[in-house]
Amino acid sequence: MTHVRDDLQLMLERPAIYLYDQDMGRLSMTGLQLGDTVFGRNEELSSLKECYRRSVSGKTEFAFISGHAGIGKSFLAYEFGKHVIMSGGVFLAGKFDQLQQGKPFSALAAVFNGYCGMLMWNSELREVVASKLRSSLGREVYYLTKIIPTLNDILGSEQSDETFYDDGCVDAQRRLQYLLCQFVEVLSSSSTAPLTLFLDDLQWADSASIAAVTQLLCSTGSSTKQKQFFFVGCHCEGIIDSAHPVWELVCNAELLGVPFTSLNLDSMAEDTLNAMVSETLCVLPRLTRTLSNIVYRKTKGNPLFVSQLMLSLNKKNLLFPSLNRRRWEWDNEKIMSQKLPDDVAVFFTQSIADLPSNVRISLFRISCFGASVEIAFVKTFEIALEMRGLCDNLDIAVDEGLLEKKGGELRFSRDRIQEAAYNTLPADERCLYHHVCGMALALYSTSESDDNILLAAVNQINLGGPAAVQDTSQSSTIAKVNLRAGQKAMVMSDFGAAYSYFNHGISFLQEGHWQELYDLSLRLFELAAKCALAIGDLANSKLHSEQVMKEARSFEDALNVMYISTCALAYSSGLPDSIQNSIGVLTKLGIDLQESRSTEVCVQETITLLTSRTDEEILNTRPMTDTTMIIAMKFLAKLEFGMNQTKPRSVPFVTQKIIELSLAKGMSPMSPIGFVYLGGFMSKLGDIISGYRYVKLALSLLDKVGRECAGEVICIATQVKIFVEPIQSALEHHNDGYAASMVTGDIFNALLNTILKDSCVHVAGVKLQTMREEYKKSEMLAKENNHSIFLVQIKQVQRDVLRLIGSDEEVTIPVEEKLIASNNSVLKTFCFRKAYTSFMFRSYDDAKEYVSKFFDCHENAWASLMVTHISNALYTGLISFWVARKSRDAQYWITRGNESKLTLKRWAESSRWTFENKWYLLEAEESFSNNDYEAAKLFYKQAISSAKLHKFVHEEALAYELAAYFHLELGEMEQSMEYFLAAHGRYNEWGAFGKCNSLFEFVKSSFSPASIESDVAP
């Protein structure tokens, strides 16, 4: 009776499956039809939905689905995709391929290319996306069109490589990662629909694509906009190890605190399998139990094996629709007697072996290109290799269910089918076929000028390898097509793939190639060195560079790899050696820095050189065309950057040479570097107005010569501009500098712009909670790029911000002690931060100790004025006057404080907005220290008024507080209390709740309870 009751219940709940008759006549014609229902994955599907909900609601998350082949990973992801679409989101899906790993950004390119094609049907959204892309990326959007061709249709224009390709990009792969991140942000912000990206078969992903996904998920950037973006990826279990790029993605996510959900799928349980068989056949579970038990024993519950076995049983008429009984029937004994392999791959291999030989061979040929291929390419392939009947044979495979046509593509129904088809020939025969196929396609690509065919051809040749070459005269041709493919990959910013192409090209060269194929060899090794550096492979970059320097026929032929070697030294903590290399190369080129003169004489000579020219004449100077001088300018720019950090007194000599060559030989993309450093150095020497002129000139030059060095120029220029313009305006300038740096892959200057912006945020008095969030972003960016010095300096300031806020969050800095002992910049920052917090929380002994240590540190290395100089001058001055009033050595400390006061007074001459209140406050403290109480009262009032006028709420609070201490010292209790109340209110407005608590405790201990206003309480 229990079985009957269960059967009746199912009929009531699901009549379409278990009650109504099936059309057995139709099924006898069409055969068994497998549905798209997901069985036994409800828990995993719910986890995905919940992860998605959290991600698009404000907190970035992502998900991984793993499991053995055929377990149903992709099926689950696409079922989740239905939920995304039904809830109003956009679901974009792509797939990596083992045999297309050489094709740069293959999966991402296909995904976004398809989505841009969809946008063409929505004119309103298309225009919004196009407008935002032009606005946020400008001409740099071109680099996206190299991997997303249909983006040209969105933008309504197309540019040639010659117009845009920039060989001087610091790190083009970083650039493309940043641009992809901006592209996704534009897509997300252009529509209310959350964007989900699904990438299948991550085990075959190229490192550049995973790095781009990492950037999308973990990047901080300068934007505070919330992206409605979710990522889900699938990968086969047991293939990804610690050396795989996906492993690095997981490690970065954990490091940066980006949560993710990991789902590992297992085979179906017997009951789940029975439910699948029951619903597929529309037969009650009680009746299908015998069949499902047999299927389970044969397949071990692997979903792919289950579905293929049932289709095979139907095809062999062991599972058939009965017209008499009007339901599916099966023969248990005959099914049990079937000899089936234990592995689904072997099952597919046997199925393919049963096909006609012409279909089997055609399947092998198409499997050489991976799990899917465009139908248009198949037709090209048929023509190029003169294989008549290829398309017809593949149509037969489609009818057999082995292939399917979808969205202009021909793809294997299952990955295991592709693997089985590919393995129908032995490995050595496959290599030979790859070679023959690739050579034919390479010849065809030359006549058709088709980049996609070129890349497909080269990938086939390289899969074959040098051992497959039977005619050595082909070696040079193969090396040349690898060179072409590598250059195309560089344009697409996939330096990993480009390096692979150049390396393959080198491997095909025959002995004696440097003598017989000098130009080709030079270019392959030179570009291989450049790409190895770009992907962080310093060892191979050095090997390739050394080979060029050994074989080069002239000094000029080796210049490019010498520059690459110089960059490699700078990137690997070998800055002094990098500087010496640059000087050595420049000397051989006849460029002498002439450092025997004094710095002041050099600066004056440079100013005299420029005096006879107007800004307009400088901006209209002809462009530089001498290739040797162009590379010399790169060495000078690299030298300028290095010396600015290590030998600031030498910077003017490099600056002078850049400007001299720019005026004599023409402006190069590096020319703005010379003008901006001239402006920075002049400003530090005291001539801020003239320095301001030259940094503005440098910014204008960027529009003339290109923005290759824009991140560095904007960074230095902004630091000078804050001494003339209101400091609040600097925040947006440094955001521009960050974006410009990322567009050229210049991570160092991206970080520097971000950190200096944070320092400007502090000086500008932005609310502490906002400051806390900004520093958190900077911390993540420094972690992401493994920059320990920047990270330590960021966390030192974070520690102060948290204390001011009153947070009990601990800030751990594991390498702080080590860097304090070895790096003067870190030591000086540490001493200043300790002195600052000691002063803010009125710890006299600590403030005196750390400001003394700060004074003992030698001058910072930078040759330009920096925002840190502002805080240093103000707070060391305030501490000095405080110590002077309590110390026996008062005159020493008054002299120290006076130096800071005069510095701020001088800066106030160029920007009263930023510096007037600071200068007045030091005047007040000096007058207090000199017992000139009337002058002190006036200056305190002026400091308060100026801080309020110029919107420095934190310094208004500080001025009130110091004035309160002054009046307390004089015994003027009522005035003191009034100022303490005002200080408390301003600190509270700033968000310094920890400081408010400290101030309250001091007031409580210094005044009688009756005199303390209730609103002082924290």
Q: Token pair of 351, please?
A: 């199925």
State pTM to two decimals: 0.75
State pLDDT tens for residues 450-503.
777 888 889 899 989 998 888 888 899 999 999 999 988 887 767 778 899 999
Strand locations in 782-915, DSSP E?
Answer: none
CB 413 within 8 A of CB 403: yes
CB 673 within 8 A of CB 658: yes
Helix (H/G/I), strand (E/B), else coil: 796:
helix
Q: Token pair of 825, please?
A: 């910049």
**What CA–CA distance (Å, rounded) separates 374 from 452?**
11
* Percentages of the chain per state (helix, strand, coil), in multiples of 5: 70, 5, 25
Own/partner contacts of 27-32, CB < 8 Å, gap of 24 or more, are 27/321, 28/320, 28/321, 28/323, 31/311, 31/314, 31/315, 32/280, 32/310, 32/311, 32/314, 32/319
Dihedral sign from CA coordinates of 609, 614, 618, 622 = negative
**What CA–CA distance (Å, rounded) separates 758 from 756?**
5
Our CA angle for 724, 728, 731, nearest 5°, is: 105
Residue 427: CB atoms within 10 Å: 8
Band (573; pLDDT cuts 50, 70, 90)? low
**What CA–CA distance (Å, rounded) separates 64 from 202?**
10
Q: Tokens 């390479």 sit at which residue?
A: 442
CB 925 within 8 A of CB 897: yes
The residue among 475 and 372 whose pLDDT is bigger is 475
Strands 62-67 and 229-236, sheet pairing: parallel
Residue 363 has pLDDT above 90, yes or no: no
Q: Tokens 């990009």 sit at which residue?
A: 169
**What CA–CA distance (Å, rounded) separates 418 from 411?**
9
Nearest to 571 by CA among 535, 526, 528: 535
**What CA–CA distance (Å, rounded) separates 403 from 360?**
12
**What CA–CA distance (Å, rounded) separates 268 from 67?**
12
CB 759 within 8 A of CB 867: yes
- Please compute the mean of the pLDDT values over residues 194-198 and round it to a whole number: 90
State pLDDT tens for residues 594-615.
777 788 888 889 999 998 899 9
Range with the poorest average pLDDT among 28-32, 427-431, 560-564: 28-32
Helix (H/G/I), strand (E/B), else coil: 463:
helix
- Please compute the mean of the pLDDT values over residues 779-795 and round it to a whole number: 79
pLDDT of residue 164: 42
Q: Tokens 């007040």 sit at which residue?
A: 924
pLDDT of residue 298: 81
Helix (H/G/I), strand (E/B), else coil: 67:
strand
70: region left, alpha or beta (phi > 0 left; psi from -120 to 50 alpha): left
**What CA–CA distance (Å, rounded) separates 160 from 162?**
5
pLDDT of residue 177: 74
Helix (H/G/I), strand (E/B), else coil: 237:
coil
Residue 662 has pLDDT above 80, yes or no: yes
pLDDT of residue 221: 38
Radius of gyration of the chain from Cα atoms?
35
CB 18 within 8 A of CB 10: yes
Strands 327-330 and 319-322, sheet pairing: antiparallel
**What CA–CA distance (Å, rounded) separates 943 from 901?**
13
**What CA–CA distance (Å, rounded) separates 996 from 986?**
9
State pLDDT tens for residues 800-840.
999 999 988 877 777 777 878 777 778 888 899 999 999 99
What are the start-end ranges of the H helices in 612-709?
Answer: 615-619, 627-646, 651-665, 671-685, 688-705
Give residues with Cβ within 8 angstroms of 440, minimum separation 6.
Answer: 384, 385, 457
Helix (H/G/I), strand (E/B), else coil: 423:
coil
**What CA–CA distance (Å, rounded) separates 615 from 732?**
25
- Please compute the mean of the pLDDT values over residues 424-429 and round it to a whole number: 86
**What CA–CA distance (Å, rounded) separates 425 from 946?**
83
Taking the alpha carbons at both ends of the chain, their separation in whole angstroms is 74
Tell me, rounded to whole angstroms, the distance of Cα 528 from its chain centroid.
Answer: 23
Dihedral sign from CA coordinates of 903, 905, 910, 911 = positive
* pLDDT, averaged across the chain: 85
Sheet containing 62-67, strands listed edge to edge, beginning at the edge strand earlier in sequence: 90-95, 195-200, 229-236, 62-67, 260-264
Residue 34: CB atoms within 10 Å: 13
Q: Token pair of 892, please?
A: 């020493």
- What percent of the chain has a predicted confidence (pLDDT) above 70? 93
CB 51 within 8 A of CB 63: yes
Q: Token pair of 480, please?
A: 């040349």
Q: Token pair of 516, please?
A: 């017989």
CB 246 within 8 A of CB 235: yes
**What CA–CA distance (Å, rounded) separates 846 from 940?**
25
Helix (H/G/I), strand (E/B), else coil: 321:
strand
Q: Which of 283-297, 330-344, 612-626, 783-797 has the highest mean pLDDT?
A: 612-626
Residue 5 has pLDDT above 90, yes or no: no
Q: Tokens 């919107």 sit at which residue?
A: 951
Residue 101 has pLDDT above 60, yes or no: no
**What CA–CA distance (Å, rounded) separates 303 from 290?**
18
**What CA–CA distance (Å, rounded) separates 10 from 5?**
9
Give residues with Cβ within 8 angstroms of 432, minimum separation 6.
Answer: 464, 468
**What CA–CA distance (Å, rounded) separates 335 from 30?**
21
Count CA atoms closer than 13 A to 239's CA, side-chain side. 16
State pLDDT tens for residues 248-285.
788 777 766 788 888 999 988 898 888 889 888 888 88
Residue 619 has pLDDT above 90, yes or no: yes
Residue 914 has pLDDT above 80, yes or no: yes
CB 237 within 8 A of CB 269: no
Residue 294 has pLDDT above 80, yes or no: yes
Burial of 932 (0-12, 13-18, 19+ CB in 10 A): middle
Burial of 36 (0-12, 13-18, 19+ CB in 10 A): exposed
In the 8-state DSSP scheme, what is residue 268?
Answer: P
Nearest to 336 by CA among 294, 300, 292, 301: 294
Q: Token pair of 594, please?
A: 């002439």
Residue 1016 has pLDDT above 90, yes or no: no
**What CA–CA distance (Å, rounded) separates 258 from 61?**
6
Residue 688 has pLDDT above 60, yes or no: yes
465: region left, alpha or beta (phi > 0 left; psi from -120 to 50 alpha): left
pLDDT of residue 396: 86
- Please compute the mean of the pLDDT values over residues 890-896 and round it to a whole number: 93
In the 8-state DSSP scheme, what is residue 687?
Answer: -
Q: Token pair of 62, please?
A: 């992502």
Q: Tokens 């998605």 sit at which residue?
A: 52
536: region left, alpha or beta (phi > 0 left; psi from -120 to 50 alpha): left
Residue 30: CB atoms within 10 Å: 10
Nearest to 203 by CA among 327, 371, 322: 371
Helix (H/G/I), strand (E/B), else coil: 1018:
coil
Q: Token pair of 299, please?
A: 């397949």
